[in-house]
Structure 1
Amino acid sequence: MTKLVAFETLKRPDTPNTYLVLPAGMMSTAHPDETSPVYGEPAEALYQRLKMLAAGKDRWTIAAHDDSEMQLEIVAATKLLKFKDDVSIRVVSAKDGAQTAEIAVYSRSRLGKYDFKANQKRVQTLLSELKGNAAATA
């Protein structure tokens, strides 16, 4: 079974082939590249929507999940060469409690030193898709 990433104690490599988004209040040993947007729905609803979105994406496989922690571990294959990259996602309630949520996302390449911003694009596309689909599920 794939081990869940511990965002609080995350150690990123020195190579530029990772991308990290963290909620504004999440304490972590790693410095994020971006702060999570706040989604206008409860964490559980966002997590369920995220699971459906991940399961429906081409070249994405959910390798592990923990529903109680609202965390997914995903293997994403690149389009052209089918390299396997890892994506860890955890949904957390935002500061206002049950009405809004944020996500922590860590995307990283298994091979190579440079990813030509593939991880950044993957994460930013996911964030945009979640924002764009929010109205449809509200």
Structure 2
Amino acid sequence: MPLMSRLPDLIEFPALKRPARPNNCLVAPEGFTGMVQIDETAPVFDKTPKQVFNAVMDLVLERVEWRLRASDPDTLRISFIAVTPLMKFKDDVYVQAVPVDGQADRSSVAIYSGSRIGYSDLGTNAKRVKELLELIGTR
């Protein structure tokens, strides 16, 4: 279970504890999650961290199958529940916009998407993370 922050429903990515089950996906900048292994290095966007945060907020609010749990514009973190279309499984998604050192107009992002139940997700969380990254890039 991910380590929660002082704000309900938001996590601290550097202290994230991933389950051993293969039903989750983590993409983040190198070193951002401490010793936790990431599945892929997050891209860098030609957007400020605030623009990335706002893009994700807009996407969450636009999608019927995504339900906002919490957001904190001060720490650029968002959490939401993604409901799968067919079986209505609830997956937890956490996002944080991450500044790129020395580049105020560029940022990256940390995204964790994990299934609440089951052992395998058949790649659902990885697909969701990939889609979210693509959508952020087009906003």
Q: TM (normalized to structure 2)?
A: 0.90
Distance 2:124 2:113 in 1: 9
* Residue 135 (structure 2) aligns with: 129
Question: What is the match of residue 4 of structure 1?
Answer: 10
Structure 1 residues 66-105: aligned runs within 5 Å? 66-105=72-111
Tell me, in whole angstroms, the C-alpha distance in 2 between the residues paired with 1:5 and 1:58: 23
Shift of 1:132: 2.2
Are 2:11 and 1:37 equivalent residues in the alignment? no
In structure 2, C-alpha distance between the alignment counterparts of 1:4 and 1:10, rounded to whole Å: 11
Question: Does the 8 Å CA contact 1:55/1:62 hold for their aligned counterparts?
Answer: yes
Q: Percent identity?
A: 34
Q: Does structure 2 retain, via aligned residues, the 8 Å contact 1:60–1:74? A: yes
Structure 1 outlier segments of 4+, above 6 Å:
none
Give the stretch that moved more between structures: 111-120 or 46-55. Answer: 46-55
2:69 corresponds to 1:63? yes
Task: Work out which of the residue numbers 116, 119, 133 in structure 2 matches 1:113.
Answer: 119
1:25 CA displacement? 4.3
SS in 2 for 1:52: helix
| Contact 2:96/2:110 (8 A) holds in 1 | yes
List per-residue Cα deviations over 1:14-69 (Å, max 9, x = no partner).
10001000113424231100111000011111111111111101210110111100
In 2, Cα distance between equivalents of 1:49 and 1:92: 13
Q: Whole-Å Cα distance in 2 between the matches of residues 33 and 116 of structure 1? A: 15
Structure 2 counterpart of 1:84, one-letter code:
K
Gaps of 5+ in 1: 134-138
d(CA) in 1 for partners of 2:52, 2:98: 9
Q: Verify the 8 A CA contact 1:21 1:105 in the aligned structure 2.
A: yes
User: Which residue in 1 is equivalent to 2:54?
Assistant: 48
Aligned mates of 1:116, 1:27 — CA distance in 2 = 24
- Structure 2, unpaired ranges of 5+: 1-6
